[in-house]
Chains A and B, each alone.
Chain A
Amino acid sequence: MAVTIAKERWTSKVAEEAYGSQGIKVGGETTLPFLQFEGEIPNRPVTALEVFDTEPKDYPDMLREAFADVITDPVAWAKKVVEYGADMVALRLMSAHPDWNNASAQDVAKTAKAVADAIDVPLIVIGCGVEEKDGEILPVVAEALEGKKALIGCVTANNYKSITAAANGYGHYVIASSPLDINLCKQLNILINEMGLPLDRIAFDPLVGALGYGIEYAYSIMERARMGALTGDKTLATPIVAFIGQEAWKAKEAKDADAPEWGPQGDRAILWEVTTATTFAIAGANIFIMRHPESIKKFNAFVDEAMKSNAY
């Protein structure tokens, strides 16, 4: 008997954005993740690997080994990230953190510019995580990166004004972070938009948890955001960023080299990072910020398969 394929008729789509002078595109989908049989997925999910502007304090050995020769030099580290095949470089300005080096805005901006000039892929710049300090340094970074069309974050409800104004003035995109709540996400997008930055210059960061550590909350938030985008809610139609590496490498299951009941660390740690990523890929995330080079390889192999047309 002939089965009538059940297709949803979506009325809208996720905003399409293009980062960097190279114009790497994300978003634009008119269907739920990988359901090519009822809509278009013009751009595949993209990956970034993280680079710290000062030697990271808590990298487990397995991560450190992958970058051992460059870990104290952000420019060399960024180049290595590109060699490893990442679509973008995510520079994390930890040296600005008051508990780390408390570096000045001018110092971190100089590093950001040096990294951006050394690579031929788009740059994501992430602050140190202290809202007030990020509100001070990121506008200066935005100025130094004029013309690079970088993705700058993370903007929160407490510091969005200064960063949004600078991102708008110097032609960048912003990452808007709100804690696992669809309404806070909408609200922040509206606040940013009211300052004159178009909605298609925002990417949404739902502050995800890793596999085993609350992944299901972010999974459902992303699914709801995608349904919102496809049914016409423009404030939910921004591409989604997920900080995969930052969360996955906190898990004991990834970090612990000596846990015989969980098997050897190699595949286990990589799977902790990539399973977190693929789970968010099937929930609708667009930009995957990871840490280990092997993880982006496996993730891309997965996406290659998932992107094959399944039209009936």
Chain B
Amino acid sequence: MGLTGLEIFKQLPKKNCKECGQPTCLAFAMQLAAGKAGLDACPYVSDAAREALDSASAPPVALVKIGVGEKAFELGNETVMFRHDKRFEHPTGIAIQVSDNMSADEVKAKVDKVNKLVFDRVGQVHEVNMVAVANDSGDAAKFADTVKLVQDNTAYPLLLTSGDAAAMEKALEIAGVNKPVVNAADAGNYEAMVALAKKYEAPLVVKGSDLNSLAETVEKIAALGYKNLILDSGARELSKVIADQTQIRRQALKLFRPFGYPTIAFANNDDAVMESLYASTYVAKYAGIVVVNSAEPEHILPVITLRLNIYTDPQKPIAVESKIYEILDPGKDAPVLITTNFSLSYFCIAGDTEAARMPAYIVPVDTDGISVLTAWAAGKFSPESIADTIKKLGIMDKVNHNKVIIPGGVAVLSGQTAELTGCEVLVGPRESAGINSFFKQQWNQ
């Protein structure tokens, strides 16, 4: 990335031995800069030079892997400040915190709740990612016991929080094999913490008291040869976190190496509603991991939903296949509902029809995955496309009536659709939430 031929040339052995296939080292450097040759072609390049060249070509935000097995996940590798510039790559990991001051029963009950924070949204399963264990007691044995209890009761990766290297060592003896996040190394304890993280190859949080001290500690840790890092600027107030997260991402994209790692943010607040709002903000504003206290679904569902929305690829609407969907085993007299193949449109109408306990056929017209009104405005949800779909899928052969129901928002299409299809076109409610009363009043008279 970005290195010029001359910058590369300075790192080369300058033997001009031609073993790389190029006439001179400078020519080789030019080929490297153009991406037409690999550094491996030169047998004499030093380890130090290789390191310098590799790190210069590394992505602006490093990729960090957390945990092992099915629940393992990745952070980082982000390349933009704004999702509309490209997309955000790796959804923020959500960690729910338990304290080693809690009793064993309390810990178990809370971990049970965390395990149940699994939500179905537009046909996909979404869940939290980690359990954080905090060494609030300051007691190493208590910390290790709690870590063991949590690990025995959940499949999620752990985030171990203690400033005490001795306590961290005991906890890692139990959980280290599962590559938990070690939280945190700071200016005072980094040598011991780096040694532990290295031993277990675990990702290590580096905590500063501000951006300057954070950069300083990261440099010292990089000098010890450890780069499996996550950054914490130390900010805990909302406006300060927004500013620091923005700075870290901005500077990483300008290739300021000490900030070239994913971040962690702490949303903990005594008021669970405020905590949820902070967590959502940090999801949108660049945090790699966000840590919260509440394990209640009403506080976590909004955060998980926003994460799904913000990390959706803006260039790729989520679409369902355009085919006949059968809800609750419909018979010959079941209604036929027309919608678009934007997954959200489809799942809204499917969910509400099911909730109304109404056996029905749902027929999504292929609109390249855009919503009813957007597709209508773009001319992709038209009497012609509706008629084509009805004909192509043969839906009217499945029923013994001649009626189709179109969304209320496109009522203007009813006349022409009726003409083209020969069907009786009923205008449904504008919102799928009204489908229940529509069925009651206009279908089951």
Give, as a whole number of angstroms, the nearest-CB distance from B257 to chain A.
11
A278 contacts B280, CB within 8 Å? yes
Q: Please tell me the number of chain A residues within 8 Å of chain B, measured between CB atoms.
A: 52
With A6-B254, A220-B83 as contacts: A271 and B306 at CB distance below 8 Å = no
Classify the interface of chain A: helix, strand, loop or mixed.
helix
Knowing A179-B374, A223-B84, A302-B274 touch, does A282 contact B285 (C-beta < 8 A)?
yes
The stretch of A19-27, A87-95, A207-215 in contact with B is: A207-215
B309 & A267 in contact (Cβ 8 Å cutoff): no
Which of B258, B281, B308, B310 has the most C-beta atoms of chain A within 10 angstroms of its own C-beta?
Answer: B281
**Would you call B298 and A262 a contact (CB within 8 A)?**
yes
A213, B277: Cα distance in complex, Å: 18
Partner of B238, one of A3, A5, A36, A305: A305
B58 within 8 A of A: no
Check if A9 is an interface residue, CB within 8 A of chain B: no
Pair A212/B305 contact, Cβ less than 8 Å: yes
Interface check B296, CB cutoff 8 A = yes
Residues A271 and B238 in contact in the complex (CB < 8 Å), given A219-B310, A223-B82:
no
In the complex, the answer to whether A1 meets B212 with C-beta atoms within 8 Å is yes
Let me know if A305 and B298 touch, CB within 8 A: no
Please provide the chain A residues from 183 to 238 with a CB less than 8 Å away from any CB of chain B in the complex.
Answer: 211-216, 219-220, 223-224, 227
Q: A1-B219, A220-B83, A270-B273 are in contact. Are A306 and B297 (CB under 8 A)?
A: no
From known contacts A6-B251, A302-B238, infer whether A275 and B243 are also in contact, taking CB-CB under 8 Å: no
Q: Point out the residues of chain B lying under 8 angstroms from A35, CB to CB.
A: 242-243, 246
The distance in angstroms between the C-alpha atoms of A216 and B122, with both chains bound, is 15
Does any Cβ of B come within 8 Å of A110's Cβ?
Answer: no
Which of B216, B254, B302, B303: most chain A CB closer than 10 A?
Answer: B302
**Cα–Cα distance between A211 and B306 once the two chains are bound (Å):** 6
Partner of A278, one of B281, B308, B312: B281
**B251 partner residues in chain A, CB cutoff 8 A:** 3, 6
Check if B173 is an interface residue, CB within 8 A of chain A: no
Bitwise, B360-373 to A at CB < 8 A (1) or not (0) is 00000000000101
Q: Is B263 an interface residue (CB 8 A)?
A: no
Interface check A264, CB cutoff 8 A: yes
| Bound CA–CA A3/B297 (angstroms) | 40
Cα distance, A217 to B239, chains bound together (Å): 24
> B327 near A: Cβ within 8 Å?
no
Contact B310–A271 (Cβ < 8 Å)? no
Q: Are B344 and A214 in contact, CB atoms less than 8 angstroms apart?
A: yes
- Note all chain A residues with C-beta closer than 8 A to B84: 220, 223-224
B272 at the interface (CB under 8 A from A): yes
Task: Determine the distance from Cα of A227 to Cα of B238 in the docked complex, in whole angstroms.
Answer: 22
Minimum C-beta distance from B252 to chain A (A): 10
A309–B312 Cα distance when bound, in Å, is 31
* Count of chain B residues with a beta carbon within 8 Å of a chain A beta carbon: 56
The distance in angstroms between the C-alpha atoms of A93 and B273, with both chains bound, is: 32
Check: B314 CB closer than 8 A to any chain A CB: yes
Q: How far is the CB of B370 from chain A (nearest CB, A)?
A: 10
- Inter-chain contacts of B148 with A (CB < 8 A): none
Is B423 positioned at the interface, with any CB of A under 8 Å from its CB? no
Complex: A263 Cα to B272 Cα, angstroms: 13
**B residues in contact with A77, CB < 8 Å:** none
Kindly state whether residue A261 has any CB partner on chain B within 8 Å: yes
In the assembled complex, B40 has its CB within 8 A of some CB on chain A: no
List, in ascending order, chain B residues with CB within 8 A of A270's CB: 273
Within 8 A of A (CB), among B369-407: 371, 373-374, 377
- A272→B298 CA distance, assembly (Å): 9
A310 contacts B239, CB within 8 Å?
Answer: yes
Binds B, one of A64-72, A136-144, A250-258: A250-258
A25 CA to B301 CA, complexed, in Å: 35
Establish whether residues B243 and A271, one from each chain, have CB atoms under 8 Å apart when the complex forms: no
Query: Once bound together, how far apart are the Cα atoms of A179 and B302, in whole Å?
Result: 24
The 8 A-B pairs at the shortest CB distance, nearest first, are namely A263-B298, A310-B243, A268-B298, A263-B297, A305-B238, A220-B84, A216-B309, A212-B305
In the complex, besides A223-B83, A267-B299, A282-B284, 11 extra interface pairs with C-beta distance below 8 angstroms are A3-B247, A3-B251, A35-B246, A179-B377, A212-B305, A214-B309, A223-B82, A268-B302, A271-B273, A271-B277, A308-B237
Interface residues of A (CB under 8 A from B): 1-3, 5-6, 34-37, 179-180, 211-216, 219-220, 223-224, 227, 250, 252-253, 255, 261-268, 270-272, 274-275, 278-279, 282, 298, 301-302, 305-310, 312
Q: Residues of B at under 8 Å CB distance from A?
A: 82-84, 119, 121, 211-212, 215-216, 219, 237-240, 242-243, 246-247, 250-251, 254, 256, 258, 272-274, 276-277, 280-281, 284-285, 296-299, 301-303, 305-306, 308-310, 312, 314, 344, 348, 351-352, 371, 373-374, 377, 431, 433
Could you give 12 example pairs across A and B, Cβ below 8 Å? A1-B215, A6-B247, A211-B306, A216-B309, A227-B82, A253-B302, A262-B301, A271-B273, A274-B277, A301-B274, A302-B274, A310-B242
